[in-house]
Amino acid sequence: MKKLLLLFALLTGFAAAAQVNHTDQKGLKQGKWVKTYESGKKRYEGYFKNNLPVGTFTYYFEREGGIMSEVTYRGETGVGFAKAYHTNGVIQAEGLYKNQLRDSTWNYYDKQGILTQSEDYAAGVLQGVQVTYYESGKLAEKKTFESGAQEGIWLRKWEDGTLRTKGLYKNDKLNGECTYYDEAGKLLAKGSYKNDKKHGSWFYFEENKVIRKEEYRFGQLESETTYDTEGKE
């Protein structure tokens, strides 16, 4: 009797082991899947149903061995909420996956857990607003994307909220007027870009007075004029 019980235990153990990394007759992943690094350490583990990830998938750092990221899927929808971690265990990023692609809003954090950036995705491509923050939580930079390309107004601010830079993007390149300010809010420079290159007249300021003027043609400096404190050449 004991021998029969032992044999049964061995057989059921082998059967359970056989179910790991299993594909059915149609080639669809089913049940628990575990993958390892070349070193033999666990890389990830999770469950599939009809080739779709279900439940929570956990990924591990190879050297440290701790959790690198987790993705929790909603049923068999292919939609999952992901969290990535720094090696110290503090959350590094969080956001939504749809069909293995980033979607909706993603947030990123430093090793102290402070929010550093937030950005919007659609089907794995940047779509919408991207905001970068100072450690204080105040806005440092704001960009807008359409289908992965930067478009529209680009803003940078000093930590006290004073405007630092304002420009305009079109087709992922600076196009149009751009202005730069110092921490006191005084104008430092202004001019226009054409496809990321300075084009036309550029003015440089000191105490809100023009001290230099440069003329550009598609990024090439063609002339330069300097002015004294009274605005004379």
pLDDT at residue 174 in the model: 98
- Residue 7 CA to residue 208 CA, distance in Å, equals 90
* pLDDT of the residue at 172: 98
In this predicted model, what pLDDT tens digit does every residue of 65-83 receive, in sequence order? 899 999 999 887 888 999 9
In a domain, 108, yes or no: no
* pTM (2 d.p.): 0.84
pLDDT tens per residue, range 47-58? 999 998 899 999
Judge whether 180 lies within some domain.
Answer: yes
Give pLDDT tens digits for 178-219: 999 999 999 999 999 999 999 999 999 999 899 999 999 999
What's the chain's average pLDDT?
91
Q: Which H or E run includes 179? A: strand 176-181
Domain contains 177: yes
**Number of neighbouring beta carbons within 10 Å of residue 219:** 12
Q: What is the CATH classification number for the domain harbouring 214?
A: 3.90.930.1
**For residue 227, is it within any domain?**
yes
Q: Is the pLDDT of residue 145 over 60?
A: yes
The tally of domains found in the chain comes to: 1
Q: Is residue 223 part of a domain?
A: yes
Task: Name the token pair of 3.
Answer: 């021998």
The parent domain of residue 158 ranges over 151-233
Predicted confidence at residue 230, as pLDDT, reads 66
